[in-house]
Structure 1
Amino acid sequence: MRRLHNSHRFMLGASVVALCAVAPLTALAQDAAAPADTTVEEVVVTGQRASIQSAQALKKNAEQLVDSITSTDIGALPDRSVTEALQRVAGVTIGRTSDGRDADRLSVEGSGVQVRGLSWVRGELNGRDNFSAKSGRTLSFEDVPPELMAGVDVYKNPSADIVEGGVGGTVNLRTRLPFDSNKRIIAYSADMSIGDLSKEWKPSGSVLYSDRWDTNIGELGFLIDLSDSQLSSRTDTISVDPYYARTDLVPGKTVYVPGGFGYRSLDFERERKGIAAALQWRPNDQWEASLQFLRSSATAASTEHAVGFNAGSSNYPAAGTSYTYDSSGRFVSGTLASSLGGTSLGSSTLDTRYAERSSVTSDYALNVKWNPNDKWSFTGDVQYIYAKTKTVDFTVFNALSGDAAAATLDLTGDMPLITMNNDESYTSNPASYYLNAAMDHHDRNDASEWAQRFDGAYTFDDGGWLKSFRFGVRNTYRESTTRETNYNWAAVAPSWGTSNTIDKLPTYQGYYSLYSFDNYFRGKVHLPATFVLPTASLVQNYAQGAALLANISSTSGGWWTVFNGDYDNLTAGGASGGVNRQKEKTLAGYGLLRFGHDVSLFGDEREIDGNFGVRVVQTESTSKGIQLFSPITLTSIPLADRNFANGAKSDYTGGRDYLSVLPSLNVRLKLTPEMFVRFAAGKSIVRPDFSQLQPFYTISATNGYTTGGACSTTIPSNASANCVYQYTATAGNPNLKPIRSTQYDLSYEWYFASTGSLTATLFYKDVYNFITNGTETIQFTNNGVTRDVLVTQPYNAGHGKIKGFEVAYQQYYDQLPGALRGLGVQANFTYVDSKGARNAASNPYDSSSVGNITANQDELPLEGLSKKSYNVAALYDLGKVSARLAYNWRERYLLTTTAANINIPAWYDDYGQLDGSIFYTVDDSLKIGFQAVNLTNTKTKILVSYPGKPEEGLTGHNWVVADRRYSIVLRGTF
Structure 2
Amino acid sequence: MPRTIRALFCSASLVSLLAISPAFAQQTDDKPAKPVDDSTVEEVVVTGFRAALGSAQEVKRNSDAMVDAIVSEDIGKLPDNNASEALSRVVGVQVTRYNDEAGTVLVRGLPDVATTFNGREFFTTNDRSLHMQDFPAGVIAGIEVYKSGTSDLIEPGLGGLINLRSRRPFDVKDTEIAGEVRGSYNTQSKAYDPSANLVVTKRWDTAIGEIGALANVSFVRMTYRNADRYADSAIITPMAWNPSNPVKVTTPGVGMFNFPANAGNFYEKGVRDRPAFNGTLQWRPNDKLEFYAEGLWQAYRGDVTTDAFNVNFERPDLTGVSPTLSNVVLVEGEPLKAASFTKTGGYVPEFWRKAQEDKTNTYQGALGFKWKGDRAVVSGDFAYTSSKYQSNQVNIDAQLASAPTINVQFDVDGTAIFNLGDYDIANPANYVWRGLYQRDYVEKGDGVQGRLDLDWDTHSSWLPTIKVGVRASDRDASSQNNDRYAYTAPLNIPLASLPTGALEMISNGFGDDGQQFRQWLMPTWDAMRDNDEALRQRAFDLTGQANYATAEIPNNPLGGFTAKEATYAAYAQGKYQFDLGAYPVDGAIGVRVVNTDGQYSGFSNVTGANGAAQIVPQSVSQNYVDVLPSIQSRIRFTPEFQLRLAVNKTRTRPSFGQLNPSLNITINSTGLDGAAPHYTATGSGGNPDLKPLTSINYDASFEYYFAKSGSATLALFYHDLDGFISYYTRDVSDPTYGLIQLSRPENAGKGRVLGAEANFQTFFTFLPGWWSGFGVQTNLTYLDGTYALPQTLGESARQVKIPGVSKWAYNLTGFYEKGPFAARLSYNHRSEYVDNYNRNTNEELYAGQLTRAVNRLDLSTSYELSKGFTLVGNVSNILGTPFKTYRNYSETQAFGRDLRVEGRYISLGLRFKM
Give the TM-score band, short-chain normalised: 0.7 to 0.9
1:893 corresponds to which of 833, 837, 840: 833
Are 1:338 and 2:344 matched, yes or no? yes
Question: Which whole-Å CA distance do the structure 2 matches of 1:53 and 1:433 have between them?
Answer: 62
Alignment of 1:225-624 (within 5 A): 225-242=216-233, 243-247=235-239, 254-312=256-314, 318=325, 321-329=327-335, 331=337, 333-338=339-344, 346-373=347-374, 375-409=375-409, 411=411, 413=413, 416-423=416-423, 426-461=424-459, 464-485=461-482, 489-492=485-488, 494=489, 496-497=490-491, 500-503=493-496, 505=497, 507-508=498-499, 510-515=501-506, 517-518=507-508, 520-525=509-514, 527-528=516-517, 530-541=519-530, 544-545=531-532, 547-552=534-539, 554-555=541-542, 561=548, 569-571=556-558, 578-600=559-581, 605-624=582-601
For 1:322, give the aligned amino acid. Answer: V
Partner of 1:654: 620
Asked if structure 2 preserves the Cα contact closer than 8 Å seen for 1:206 and 1:227, the reply is yes
Equivalent position SS for 2:646: strand
Are 1:124 and 2:116 matched, yes or no? yes
Alignment of 1:636-785 (within 5 A): 647-704=613-670, 713-714=673-674, 726-773=680-727, 774-781=729-736
Change (3 A) 1:224 1:200: same
Question: Which whole-Å CA distance do the structure 2 matches of 1:398 and 1:698 have between them?
Answer: 29
Change (3 A) 1:483 1:414: closer
Question: Which whole-Å CA distance do the structure 2 matches of 1:212 and 1:790 have between them?
Answer: 66
For 2:108, give the aligned amino acid. Answer: R
Greater shift, 467-476 or 899-908, is seen at 899-908
Asked if structure 1 preserves the Cα contact closer than 8 Å seen for 2:67 and 2:147, the reply is yes
Quote the offset at 1:679 in angstroms.
0.0
Asked if structure 1 preserves the Cα contact closer than 8 Å seen for 2:344 and 2:403, the reply is no
Are 1:826 and 2:818 matched, yes or no? no
Asked if structure 2 preserves the Cα contact closer than 8 Å seen for 1:241 and 1:957, the reply is yes
Question: Which whole-Å CA distance do the structure 2 matches of 1:377 and 1:562 have between them?
Answer: 64
Equivalent position SS for 1:703: coil
Are 1:206 and 2:193 matched, yes or no? no
Question: Which whole-Å CA distance do the structure 1 matches of 2:658 and 2:787 have between them?
Answer: 21
Asked if structure 2 preserves the Cα contact closer than 8 Å seen for 1:838 and 1:862, the reply is no
Asked if structure 1 preserves the Cα contact closer than 8 Å seen for 2:328 and 2:338, the reply is no
Structure 1 alignment gaps of length 5 or more: 1-43, 97-105, 340-344, 572-577, 635-645, 705-710, 716-722, 840-850
Change (3 A) 1:529 1:912: closer
Quote the offset at 1:235 in angstroms.
1.3
TM-score (norm 2): 0.88
Change (3 A) 1:748 1:613: same
Equivalent position SS for 1:53: helix
Quote the offset at 1:410 in angstroms.
5.9
1:137 corresponds to which of 124, 128, 141: 128
Asked if structure 2 preserves the Cα contact closer than 8 Å seen for 1:278 and 1:292, the reply is yes
Question: Which whole-Å CA distance do the structure 2 matches of 1:629 and 1:409 have between them?
Answer: 45
For 2:469, give the aligned amino acid. Answer: G
Equivalent position SS for 2:76: coil
Change (3 A) 1:277 1:262: same
Question: Which whole-Å CA distance do the structure 1 matches of 2:788 and 2:775 have between them?
Answer: 39
Asked if structure 2 preserves the Cα contact closer than 8 Å seen for 1:254 and 1:329, the reply is no
Question: Which whole-Å CA distance do the structure 1 matches of 2:823 and 2:674 have between them?
Answer: 73
Question: Which whole-Å CA distance do the structure 2 matches of 1:513 and 1:198 have between them?
Answer: 18
For 1:521, give the aligned amino acid. Answer: F
Question: Which whole-Å CA distance do the structure 1 matches of 2:553 and 2:429 have between them?
Answer: 37
Change (3 A) 1:549 1:651: closer
For 1:619, give the aligned amino acid. Answer: T
Quote the offset at 1:901 in angstroms.
15
Instruction: Report Cα offsets for 1:919-946 as digits up to 9, x if no partner.
Output: 0112332110110011111111121232
Are 1:913 and 2:862 matched, yes or no? no
**What number of residue pairs does the alignment pair up?**
849
Partner of 2:36: none
Equivalent position SS for 1:85: helix
Partner of 2:27: none
Equivalent position SS for 2:60: helix
Question: Which whole-Å CA distance do the structure 1 matches of 2:194 and 2:793 have between them?
Answer: 43
Asked if structure 1 preserves the Cα contact closer than 8 Å seen for 2:298 and 2:363, the reply is yes
Q: Sequence identity of aligned pairs in percent?
A: 28
2:758 corresponds to which of 784, 799, 807: 807
Equivalent position SS for 1:736: coil
Greater shift, 876-885 or 113-122, is seen at 876-885
Instruction: Report Cα offsets for 1:777-811 as digits up to 9, x if no partner.
Output: 24344xxxx74544433333331111110001111
For 2:377, give the aligned amino acid. Answer: S
Change (3 A) 1:266 1:729: closer
Quote the offset at 1:860 in angstroms.
3.4
Partner of 2:872: 929
Quote the offset at 1:567 in angstroms.
7.2
Quote the offset at 1:581 in angstroms.
0.7
Quote the offset at 1:510 in angstroms.
1.1
Question: Which whole-Å CA distance do the structure 1 matches of 2:841 and 2:180 have between them?
Answer: 43
Question: Which whole-Å CA distance do the structure 2 matches of 1:562 and 1:664 have between them?
Answer: 60
Change (3 A) 1:387 1:562: farther
Instruction: Report Cα offsets for 1:861-899 as digits up to 9, x if no partner.
Output: 211111111111111111211101101111111112359
Quote the offset at 1:557 in angstroms.
9.0
Question: Which whole-Å CA distance do the structure 2 matches of 1:444 and 1:266 have between them?
Answer: 22
Asked if structure 2 preserves the Cα contact closer than 8 Å seen for 1:207 and 1:226, the reply is yes
Question: Which whole-Å CA distance do the structure 1 matches of 2:53 and 2:336 have between them?
Answer: 50
Asked if structure 2 preserves the Cα contact closer than 8 Å seen for 1:666 and 1:680, the reply is yes
Asked if structure 1 preserves the Cα contact closer than 8 Å seen for 2:439 and 2:553, the reply is no
1:155 corresponds to which of 136, 146, 152: 146
Q: For the aligned residues, what is the CA RMSD?
A: 2.9
Change (3 A) 1:832 1:559: farther
Asked if structure 1 preserves the Cα contact closer than 8 Å seen for 2:315 and 2:347, the reply is no
Quote the offset at 1:256 in angstroms.
1.3
Equivalent position SS for 2:527: helix
For 1:777, give the aligned amino acid. Answer: V
For 1:125, give the aligned amino acid. Answer: F
Question: Which whole-Å CA distance do the structure 1 matches of 2:732 and 2:414 have between them?
Answer: 50
Partner of 2:107: 115
Greater shift, 788-797 or 265-274, is seen at 788-797
Partner of 1:57: 58
Question: Which whole-Å CA distance do the structure 2 matches of 1:472 and 1:900 have between them?
Answer: 52
Asked if structure 1 preserves the Cα contact closer than 8 Å seen for 2:281 and 2:294, the reply is yes
Partner of 2:608: 631
Question: Which whole-Å CA distance do the structure 1 matches of 2:748 and 2:679 have between them?
Answer: 28
Change (3 A) 1:856 1:514: farther
Asked if structure 1 preserves the Cα contact closer than 8 Å seen for 2:313 and 2:323, the reply is no
Partner of 1:40: none
Quote the offset at 1:325 in angstroms.
2.2
Question: Which whole-Å CA distance do the structure 2 matches of 1:563 and 1:890 have between them?
Answer: 50
Question: Which whole-Å CA distance do the structure 2 matches of 1:305 and 1:170 have between them?
Answer: 37
Change (3 A) 1:215 1:853: farther
Question: Which whole-Å CA distance do the structure 2 matches of 1:211 and 1:535 have between them?
Answer: 49
Alignment of 1:812-961 (within 5 A): 812-838=763-789, 858=798, 860-898=800-838, 905-946=848-889, 948-949=890-891, 952-961=892-901
Equivalent position SS for 2:236: strand
Change (3 A) 1:919 1:670: same
Question: Which whole-Å CA distance do the structure 1 matches of 2:545 and 2:553 have between them?
Answer: 22
Equivalent position SS for 2:802: coil
Quote the offset at 1:501 in angstroms.
2.1
Asked if structure 2 preserves the Cα contact closer than 8 Å seen for 1:677 and 1:749, the reply is yes
Partner of 2:8: none
Question: Which whole-Å CA distance do the structure 1 matches of 2:177 and 2:336 have between them?
Answer: 63
Equivalent position SS for 1:819: helix
